[in-house]
Structure 1
Amino acid sequence: MTFQGVGLHSGKPAQLTIRPAPAGAGIVFRRVDITGASNEIPAIWHLVEQSPLCTRLVNAAGVAITTVEHVMAALVGCGVHNALVDVDGPEVPILDGSAAPFVRGILANGLRQLAEPVHALRILRAVEVRRASAWARLTPNETLKIEFDIEFEDAAIGVQKKILNMSNGSFVRELSNSRTFCRKADVDHMRANGLALGGTLENAVVVDGEKVLSPGGLRHADEAVRHKMLDALGDLGLAGLPILGHYHGFRAGHALTNDLLRALFADKNAFEVVECDAATAARLPGAGVHLGEIPQVA
């Protein structure tokens, strides 16, 4: 399945195609505009080059792919564990600013069950990281649960909190169509510095004080915190295996979630890799999802 759009930060045309991959391959991005073996970039935590604005992966040859979080969330949220993601440039297309177009394409195309068992990463004890007043934490839980708190001065966002169990298709129903958001002042600053060149009121929620500038307003009253949870799911997908644990982010972002994965893998006693039986597999994100669960957008 192929998706076409523009890069959020570059503003350049971008095309992305998701292809099947064998069991154990994981999710791998491939820069098809670059020839040779160096064009493959595994979607894994230790290849993240940290940025506050998006998630960027860079391989050993210096080949990068940027803004991977939304397609990663779609893949994880639909239960895709192995895929080859071809991109014709340095940035994933932003589409409508959410994961819904990717989810719709994945589910419409259909998923293939592989013969090999699925493995998961079970959290055994708490791991926490902090940056100033922001923090992120993983604690044991039988499913992946995501909890998030945000605080913004703009009244259109304000203080928001949400918690969701990611099993039973809740990502597709509750989070997938929530769009990236920003303050108008931040947009002006980013554009002055050559960023967000592909951002529009059609692919992002832009707020200014108590006003929502994007046509049609919000898709959810708490769309901002839902999108932060969407981002967190995509960034947690860079663990390389689905996670069984409770993620809680407070004013967290891409870099802090990556800090958390680095801290997790530095503590070998904080997790174990388990082979999923049928009951455990049914509790993973993506289990039982179907196309009709994607919220309709006017």
Structure 2
Amino acid sequence: MQTTVQSSVAFQGVGLHSGHPACATILPAEPGQGIVFRRSDLAPAQADIPALWDNVNQSPLCTRLENAHGVSVSTVEHIMAALIGCGIHNATIEIDGPEVPILDGSSAMFVRGILSRGVRRTDAPLRALRILHPVEVTRGSARARLTPHDTLLIEFAIEFEDAAIGTQKKSLNMSNGSFVRELSTSRTFCRKADVDMMRANGLALGGTLENAVVVDGEQVLSPGGLRHADEAVRHKMLDAVGDLALAGLPILGHYHGLRAGHALTNDLLRAVFAQPECYEIVECDDQMAARLPGADVHWDEVPEVA
């Protein structure tokens, strides 16, 4: 059945790129609504932004949603990943500005907040998007692909010159709460040279060594080092889970990303929905629902982070 949160939960922080204070509050919602962002600082008639693939205004640095009125909200990928990873299908996210708070750069605090309130099941049946035929998109040497699978399987490969990251590959089945256990604590990462360039262009003004993993060659500059030896590729997988959540339905398929980013994953969703023969929308029975992300998440599995 479709779910929502039992009660509201708020998150205070700063926007990664603006550096401005930001508050996002996840509220329960009715079945069938999906995930909707609501700008509380704007007039109600213009404030709602459904979290859907065709509302993405592509950006290389984050996932940015924009409605027909030109109202936008940025850096939605980590909170979207937390919602789908915890099995939440319907929620309203009230936000007091144009950017979701970055918190610690991962989904961990969102996950802990959601699960601290609990998941409420409704009497509305759950539907899923099942991939029937392969769909692939490319940009230069980057590639993203969806192929048929009976769960959501995320596979990712990255290559960076900095030895602190290097070449990393990982594959994980997202059923049985593995998003919460394996991916949710992995933080966004960047090269020090990229930070300097973004700062010079008025971006990443809210970034710190506490809310991002910053590397310089062989060095990890963030205090405490890495949470996982392969934290970088885990975070890319986390981003992919959040960006795929913009399909509006849980996905049954194998996602493979090679050097992929937010824009390419959005290209992939656009390609899927442009080819109706490549997917079907199915009503989930108990067996199918048990294979979806967040189907069997327990509070005691949520990792502790410093």
Between the aligned partners of 1:251 and 1:214, the Cα distance in structure 2 is 23
Between the aligned partners of 2:129 and 2:305, the Cα distance in structure 1 is 34
Between the aligned partners of 2:104 and 2:129, the Cα distance in structure 1 is 31
Between the aligned partners of 2:252 and 2:105, the Cα distance in structure 1 is 27
2:25 maps to 17
1:251 maps to 259
Between the aligned partners of 1:38 and 1:241, the Cα distance in structure 2 is 24
Counterparts in 2 of 1:26-37, with a 5 A limit? 26-37=34-45
Between the aligned partners of 1:201 and 1:232, the Cα distance in structure 2 is 23
Between the aligned partners of 2:162 and 2:299, the Cα distance in structure 1 is 35
2:268 maps to 260
Counterparts in 2 of 1:84-233, with a 5 A limit? 84-233=92-241
Which stretches of structure 1, 4 residues or longer, exceed 3 Å deviation after superposition?
none
Conservation of the 8 A alpha-carbon contact between 1:177 and 1:294: no
Between the aligned partners of 2:246 and 2:19, the Cα distance in structure 1 is 25
Counterparts in 2 of 1:32-71, with a 5 A limit? 32-71=40-79
Per-residue displacement from partner, 1:173-216 (whole Å, max 9, x unpaired)?
A: 00000000000000000000000000000000000000000000
Between the aligned partners of 1:86 and 1:51, the Cα distance in structure 2 is 22
Report deviation, 1:58: 0.3
- Code of the residue aligned with 1:49 in structure 2: it is N
Between the aligned partners of 2:79 and 2:33, the Cα distance in structure 1 is 17
Report deviation, 1:294: 1.6
Q: What root-mean-square deviation, in Å, do the aligned CA atoms of Structure 1 and Structure 2 show?
A: 0.4
> SS in structure 1 opposite 2:54?
helix
Between the aligned partners of 2:304 and 2:40, the Cα distance in structure 1 is 33
Report deviation, 1:117: 0.7
- Code of the residue aligned with 1:239 in structure 2: it is A
Between the aligned partners of 2:83 and 2:172, the Cα distance in structure 1 is 18
> SS in structure 2 opposite 1:84?
strand
Between the aligned partners of 2:169 and 2:297, the Cα distance in structure 1 is 25
Conservation of the 8 A alpha-carbon contact between 1:25 and 1:83: yes
- Code of the residue aligned with 2:38 in structure 1: it is R
Between the aligned partners of 2:43 and 2:54, the Cα distance in structure 1 is 23
Q: How many residues align structurally?
A: 298
Per-residue displacement from partner, 1:136-164 (whole Å, max 9, x unpaired)?
A: 00000000000000000000000000000
Per-residue displacement from partner, 1:103-151 (whole Å, max 9, x unpaired)?
A: 0000000010010110000000000000000000000000000000000
Between the aligned partners of 1:178 and 1:292, the Cα distance in structure 2 is 18
> SS in structure 1 opposite 2:162?
coil
Structure 2, unaligned runs of 5 or more: 1-8
Report deviation, 1:36: 2.4
Between the aligned partners of 1:49 and 1:276, the Cα distance in structure 2 is 31
Between the aligned partners of 2:15 and 2:35, the Cα distance in structure 1 is 20
Q: If the length of structure 2 is used for normalisation, what is the TM-score?
A: 0.97
Per-residue displacement from partner, 1:50-103 (whole Å, max 9, x unpaired)?
A: 011000000000000000000000000000000000000000000000000000
